[in-house]
Amino acid sequence: MSNAPTEEKVLSVEHFTDRLFSFSITRPPSFRFRTGEFIMIGLPKTEEQKRPIMRAYSIASPAWDDKLEFYSIKVEDGPLTSRLQAIKDGDTVLLGKKPVGTLVLDALLPGKRLWMFSTGTGFAPFASLVRDPETYERYDEVIVTHTCREAGELEYSQRLVDDLINDPLVGEMVVNEDGSPKLKLITSLTREDHPLKGRITTLLETGKLFEVAGTEPLNKDTDRVMICGSKDMIDDTAKLVEGFGLTEGSNSQPAEFVVEKSFVG
């Protein structure tokens, strides 16, 4: 069986800001992945680029979807994103064969509340997880945080979560029987005015995050955490989470929190 990437067609592209866009591609019938995993994607070679450039991208669509969705930054001189940001419906995107990753439900021990801390396009794997029924079957409460620089960068996450109430698969699961939300999205900005300002690390250190969420501070007996963002954000946030007594887990050894090891950008 060949390990060569498959050629998939672009189904849709949406640009949110001059830095962020999303796109969806066809999904091979045999392609299987666990919600929260990432895959290598790329573009066909050109005269200038003699071989395809492949990069790891979290799959933003849920495992049950018949298409694959991705959420990407635009880097002007990036070897891949400088070309990827110009794709249009009908263009070809290369899709790797082997999805992997640590931001999966099975890498966490059972708990009551699931926190997902994200910055920028680090929201992508959580876009997959909040659309998976299993997330709500495992947890009583799901809280996603998304920190960006400017308000326009929050559009993707805010719209996706707002639309979930009408989702035929999880619409009834994102709300409790008393009408209160089972899923909460907490957004913050670092460069513009916003009801909540500051980096996720600051919000954790000051306790402001728990105040806004209406919860107690992280507790290893009840809380489970996933972290995705830039390398510095992941490292700094993981240290703070460990400070609350939580232990990092993996696919082979589930524990109280997991981070995305390969995420870039």
CA distance 250 to 230: 19
What is d(CA 57, CA 41) in angstroms, rounded to the nearest whole number? 7
- Residue 262: per-residue pLDDT: 65
Answering whether pTM is above 0.85, one says: yes
Q: According to the model, what pLDDT value does residue 16 have? A: 96
Q: Round to the nearest angstrom and report the end-to-end CA distance of the chain.
A: 32
pLDDT of residue 232: 94
Tell me what pLDDT residue 265 has.
Answer: 34
Which backbone phi and psi does 103 adopt, to 5 degrees?
-85, 60
Predicted local distance difference test score (pLDDT) of residue 47: 76
pLDDT for the residue numbered 17: 95
d(Cα 79, Cα 164) in Å, to the nearest integer? 35
Strand bridging mode 92-95 / 38-43: antiparallel
DSSP state of 89: T
4 vs 222: CA distance, rounded Å: 43
Q: Is-contact 246 221, C-beta < 8 A?
A: no
Annotate 191-260 with DSSP letters as a single string: SS--SSBS-HHHHHHHSHHHHHHT-PSP-TTTEEEEEES-HHHHHHHHHHHHHTT--B--SSS-BSEEE-
pLDDT by 10s per residue, the chain, length 265: 578 899 999 999 999 999 999 999 999 999 999 999 999 999 998 877 778 889 999 999 999 999 999 999 998 888 899 999 999 999 999 999 999 999 999 999 999 999 999 999 999 999 999 999 999 999 999 999 999 999 999 999 999 999 999 998 999 999 998 989 999 999 999 999 999 999 999 999 999 999 999 999 999 999 999 999 999 999 999 999 999 999 999 999 999 999 987 644 3
Sign of torsion, CA 21 25 27 31? negative
pLDDT score for 1: 55
